[in-house]
Amino acid sequence: MTDHTERDIVIEDHFRRNSSRLVKNLSVKCKGWFNAEDSVHNAYERALRYWDSYEPDMGFDKWFEAVLRNAVSATMNEAIKMGGTTDQIEHYADETTARWSEKSEQIIDMIKDKQFNERNILMLKFVHMYSTRSEIPCLVPETEKQVRRIVEDFKAEVTARFGEPDTDE
């Protein structure tokens, strides 16, 4: 392995060259600038902490990509935990593009009434617009099948209460 001086130089150089681009690229996946920035900073902290696992034969960029992927997952899991609060739901309620536009406030209230895990899944889907199939199951303990069932059941509940969604948008 390399010594800490080389570690610091490699990581600092990578940070200077790539951090802004990484934050920009992750801002959509992380559902905002703050989560993207936290993810990138967490990744560089992890790179320093786990430097001993770096294998030069693998190449730094490939190794850092794995570190970044883990940091994004950890940051988003933390955001989900924080997002389970009513305040966070209300903060995003104004930004939602729910298809039942005139009913979005009532739909958000329906989400607030759900149990914690179910509420998090529904927030990810309807407020933060995550993909049910590929993104949400990576962030919650439920399987893809369980996530789909929760989303489908909620859509049916909303449809039963309000009718079919608006299609004018």
Domains of the chain in start order, with CATH, are 4-82 (no CATH), 85-162 (1.10.10)
Q: What is the pLDDT of residue 96?
A: 37
The model's confidence at residue 13, banded by pLDDT at 50, 70 and 90, is very high
Q: What is the pLDDT of residue 100?
A: 53
Residue pair 149/164 in contact by the 8 Å Cβ criterion: no
pLDDT score of 16 more than 80: yes
Percentage above 70 pLDDT, the chain:
77
Q: What is the pLDDT of residue 67?
A: 93
The 10s digit of each residue's pLDDT in 52-110 is: 899 888 899 999 999 999 898 888 877 776 653 333 444 444 333 344 556 777 887 88
Spatial distance between the Cα atoms of 123 and 37, rounded to a whole number of angstroms: 21
Higher-pLDDT residue of 24 and 108 is 24
Range picked from 22-36, 58-72, 108-122 for highest mean pLDDT: 58-72
Average pLDDT over residues 145-157: 90
